[in-house]
Structure 1
Amino acid sequence: MRVLAEGKIEQLFGVLDRSTELIQKAKDQSYLDSLIETLGFIQSDDDEDPGLTEADIKKLTNIYAGFNPDEYTAETIRKGIQMAILKAIRIDKIQANYQITPDTIANVIGYIVSGIFHGKKELSLLDPAMGTGNLLTTIYHQLETSIGVTPTVSGIENDDAMFELAADSVELQKIHAELFHEDTIQNVLAPVVDAVVSDLPIGYYPIDANAKGFATHSESGHSYVHHLMIEFGMKHVKPGGFGFFLVPSQLFQTSEAKQLLKWMQGKIYLQGLLNLPKELFQNSAAQKAILILQNSGEGAKQVDPVMLGEFPSFKDQQAFTKFLTEIDDWEQNDLL
């Protein structure tokens, strides 16, 4: 079954890749822009494009001739698009903020979310920095499979290209999603949800005036965008709801962390901070962790003990499974 699924992913990637390369060469533009056009083409009945010759259009028609999106599962479509985006990042030498959350990490976050919300009949998710939507859609499918819930999902993204990729991806996967093409820090009117999930951008937010309305803004100079995003996210979580954020492991060890901790005091519970394996990152400074926060209200309380630790190597299946079991025990016996 797995070999069959992998074959379908390769098949879909082949269609996307051949079409993208043709458009890239014909228009002398980036692979990423050409991929966006490809995703638009395969969802449209309009086969005209003033930038392509009749011969190019005919070649594209031949590429798409055997393509029927109904023959692919939503998860296959997600993975096929992911492969094409990864090629775009490599070919176009795209900046770090375009990097996709790897499935290994997305699946771990999804596992934790599934454990905490096990037994729920309805669930709403928001990603305030959704990028190409890979993390959000990975967790969406995981929740459907593991706990039998089809969540309602929302996402926010400011970058034009990433937003278009996310919008095309969720449409092809037939996921009903509310997507906002806006700057999150300008206080988007996003829904209040059960859980926020996000692989946060790291660094400074350039527009100080927009950050002034946030309690986590820096007292001098630019503010950390990941601090602002955490605050925004938790403001859009229901009482007793959760935030699951991919953050720098050193989040609470910087001089700017005092603003973040001050804002959290009395209203946001730090329930867990789980470092990801060092082997996934180029150096210790780049290491990331899964931050688990919970809003006060609805019977929520500060858990004791807070779940702190570091995942063993994903290659050590026995140790990794043991650590997941420890998380399960903590969720059921301490957190919930």
Structure 2
Amino acid sequence: MGQTDVGELYKRLDTTTALLKEDLDVSYMDALIETSENILDGGRVKVEGGLPHQSVRDQLSEQYALVNLNQLTTDEIRQAVQLAIIRGERTDLIQANHQMTPDSIGFLVAYLLEALADLPTQATLLDLTVGTGNLLYTVLNRLQAAADPALTAYGIDNDDTMLALAGVSARLQGLEVELFHQDAISELMVPQVTASIADLPIGYYPVDERAADFTTHAATGHSYAHHLLIEQSMRYTAAGGFGFFIVPSMIFKSAEAESLTKWMTSATYMQGLLNLPRELFHSEAAQKAILILQNKGGQAKQAQRVLLGELPSLKDQAGFRRFTAELVAWKQQNLA
């Protein structure tokens, strides 16, 4: 299996989505959800009110007959769905905060989680900003391929279309994921988890009364949503558990950084802030980093030397090998 297989599944998804989009007069994303549901239903075409038309049903059935998910790995299915969603983002002009996390960033989050968190065999993960699921599923597939732990994951999002895409993507991949359509800053229906991850949307949270329950809320006006989401994620993470958050590199230089720092030092240990490779961003101002927090409790302790710096490019194999060796030594010296 390889790129050819990913390309073939993407072609079937895109072709059938385009047919449904045109015939049902819906968005690309809605058509993609419907075609995925049809595939999950054994290639049977859902018909409502005589639509899609018979000629389109015949074309869909021909395409579905060529789909064989058993020939692909879980991550190949994820990649094909991801390509279709990227096509949908461009076709439907999706706003920036809803755009999916690139694979390269997902791989780096997965690597750090695998290297630092010492996940037990029955580990659970939480993503409060799951979107279409690409970050969470990249991490799940990487971890399961590496160590085969029994991983269960929970995802929250307030956008029903994004969540529906995440749902069909998880089912196509056969992943153990529970998804909840709700405001992630409200009281959640998820248990305490082993670790949390999130690619955080940047902006203000509009419900000041709810934000007031958080240490990271602003003294006046609206609070930063990404600060509240970090605090909320760690609330639902077990004692000693890790959180890995994709944040602006300049997160501690904002006007609201004081309340974030105050909460972090009282509730967690900040173990690292690693800038993502510069090449992934169109400008220095847009650069992001992975913030690594660990809840107090259990065997957790503050690292004597916080992990700071820039992650090497995934294309720089020698640089990444050096970083891997440095990370192993850092963990031994600071967290063991």
3-state SS of 1:179 partner:
strand
2:214 is matched by which residue type in structure 1? F
Matches within 5 A, 1:9-158: 9-44=6-41, 45=44, 47-50=46-49, 51-118=51-118, 120-158=120-158
Q: Deviation at 1:121?
A: 2.4
Given that residues 119 and 147 in structure 1 are in contact (C-alpha distance below 8 angstroms), is that contact kept between their aligned partners in structure 2?
A: no
* 8 Å contact from structure 2 (residues 185, 210) kept in 1: yes
Give the alignment of 1:234-253 within 5 angstroms.
Answer: 234-253=234-253
Q: Equivalent residue for 2:309?
A: 309
SS at match of 1:201: coil
In structure 2, the residue matched to 1:318 is 318
Deviation at 1:170, TM superposition (A): 0.7
Unaligned segments of structure 2, at least 5 residues: none
Query: Displacement, 1:93?
Result: 2.0
What residue in structure 2 maps to residue 327 of structure 1? Answer: 327
Residue aligned with 2:2, SS: helix
- With over 3 angstroms needed to count, the CA separation of the structure-2 counterparts of 1:185 and 1:118, relative to structure 1, is closer
Task: Give CA deviations for 1:29-50 in whole Å, capped at 9, x if unaligned.
Answer: 3212211111122122453233
**Counterpart Cα distance in 2 of 1:76 and 1:314:** 19
Deviation of 1:12 after TM superposition, in Å, equals: 0.6
Deviation at 1:71, TM superposition (A): 2.7
Q: Match of 1:47, as an amino acid?
A: K
State TM-score, norm by structure 2: 0.95
Equivalent position SS for 2:274: strand
Contact 1:118 1:147 in 2 (8 A): no
Cα distance in 2 for partners of 1:110, 1:92 equals 29
What is the CA–CA distance in structure 1 between the aligned matches of 2:328 and 2:233, rounded to whole Å?
A: 25
CA displacement, residues 46-73 of structure 1 (integer Å, 9 cap, x when unaligned): 5323332111111111111122323322
Question: Which letter maps to 2:102?
Answer: P
Question: Structure 1: how far apart are the matches of 2:119 and 2:64?
Answer: 42
TM-score after normalising by structure 1: 0.95
Q: Which residue of 1 aligns with 2:292?
A: 292
Q: Whole-Å Cα distance in 1 between the matches of residues 83 and 111 of structure 2?
A: 23
Give the SS at the match of 2:40: coil
Deviation at 1:119, TM superposition (A): 6.9
TM-fit CA distance, 1:164: 0.2
Q: Unaligned 5+ residue runs, structure 1?
A: none
User: What is the alpha-carbon distance in structure 2 between the residues aligned to residue 233 and residue 201 of structure 1?
Assistant: 14
Distance 2:190 2:3 in 1: 36
For 1:124, the aligned partner's letter is: T
State which drifts further: 252-261 or 186-195.
186-195
Aligned equivalent of 2:3: 6
What letter is aligned with 2:3? E
Q: Secondary structure at the match of 1:185?
A: coil
Calculate the aligned-residue CA RMSD, in Å. 1.5
Contact 2:117–2:241, Cα closer than 8 Å, also in 1: no
Q: CA deviation at 1:267?
A: 2.2
Q: Which moved more, 1:51-60 or 1:290-299?
A: 51-60
Q: Does 1:220 align with 2:217?
A: no
